[in-house]
Amino acid sequence: MNQRPSILIARAVFPDVVEKLQQHFEVETTPAGVVWSSAELVQRLQGKAGVLTTGGERIDAALLAACPHLKIVANLAVGYNNFDLPAMTAAGVLGTNAPDVLTETTADFGFALLMATARRVTESERFLRAGQWKEWSLDLFAGAEVHGSTLGILGMGRIGQAIARRAAHGFGMPVIYHNRSRLTPELEAACKATYVDKAELLRRADHLLLVLPYSAASHHAIGAAELAQMKPTATLINIARGGIVDDAALAVALRERRIAAAGLDVFEGEPRVHPDLLTVPNVVLTPHIASATLPTRSAMAHLAADNLIGFLVEGRPVTPLNPEVLAA
């Protein structure tokens, strides 16, 4: 009888996902609250054919060289900037991610964060909880209009398109967008979205929402120069990835009211948050929870499990990122 492959679950996941994987593999789990260092991860991966990761575990050439038995890394996130994909391909290690299952949930949250930012929800709640509300006044926490205002979207993949549909059809917002490649006329019509260059996007948007993938090219895509091109009444929402925004420059722009407010679900170097962002009142901060509904997070974890099973047991992964590994 052949020995079953061994895999590591690098972060705590739902029990039913563990049980599903245990039907096919020898499974090593990770206790809740534990985050392995790079050296610890290498140690845990010895003899493992696969690993389920969450997007926070860096898979690079050094780790791959130290883990010769590794065959697949299954991210339960849609993003995979934790992967050195060329190094994985060179080492014959498959990478997979979890697209599609979180599109609508993340779009919901992006719109929720936009509204909370525009309408100063958390700022006013802190004011109330501190016992500072003594009387009603006409301009008390008067924020920005959402309906009818111009939404700018930087990055127009599935999530960007889902947000555009909500904005245009639900809130009557003119939608403009910039993307590496323009959408088809049919998709633009469905989203009621107009393509513009980045400079026009920054200049015209009343609310600028970031949904682009992180890469070396998109690092600090929004920095001091870009913030200076935005309206002083504009808001900035980042549900994409930390590092796309220069958080230090954003904190300065918020403090000096160069833009009105920001809503951030992701941060450069997270879970660390730039300390200056914690001291400005006009920012809504959430801990990377855009996809955090139980059904969606469960679907993400199950898709990662299905990729492990599909590849190591059946030879057919569901969502491969470097399918050339399969051909090899």
User: What's the predicted TM-score (pTM) here?
Assistant: 0.92
What pLDDT, on the 0 to 100 scale, is given for residue 2? 61
Per DSSP (E only), the strands in 223-327 are: 235-238, 261-264, 283-285
What pLDDT, on the 0 to 100 scale, is given for residue 55? 83
- Topology at the third CATH level for domain 6-99+294-327: Rossmann fold (3.40.50)
> Which residue out of 11, 119, 120, 288 is catalytically annotated?
288
* pLDDT at 222 exceeding the cut of 60: yes
What percent of the chain shows pLDDT beyond 90?
95
Omega before residue 271 within 30° of 0, cis: yes
270 tagged catalytic: yes
* pLDDT at 1 exceeding the cut of 60: no
> Which residue out of 119, 166, 178, 241 is catalytically annotated?
241
Q: Helix (H, G, I), strand (E, B), or coil: what is residue 153?
A: strand
288 tagged catalytic: yes
Q: Once rounded to an integer, what is the mean pLDDT over residues 30-37? A: 92
Same fold flag, 6-99+294-327 and 103-285: yes
> Which residue out of 26, 123, 200, 270 is catalytically annotated?
270
pLDDT in tens, 161-198: 999 999 999 999 999 999 999 999 999 999 999 999 99
Q: Distance between CA atoms of 197 and 214, rounded to whole angstroms?
A: 19
Give every strand in the sheet of 26-28, ordered side by side: 26-28, 6-9, 50-53, 72-75, 94-96
Q: Where are the domains of the chain?
A: 6-99+294-327, 103-285
pLDDT in tens, 241-291: 999 999 999 999 999 999 999 999 999 999 999 999 999 999 999 999 999
Which residue has 């245990």 as its token pair?
A: 22
CATH superfamily, region 103-285: NAD(P)-binding Rossmann-like Domain (3.40.50.720)
Backbone angles phi, psi at 9, to 5 degrees: -100, 110
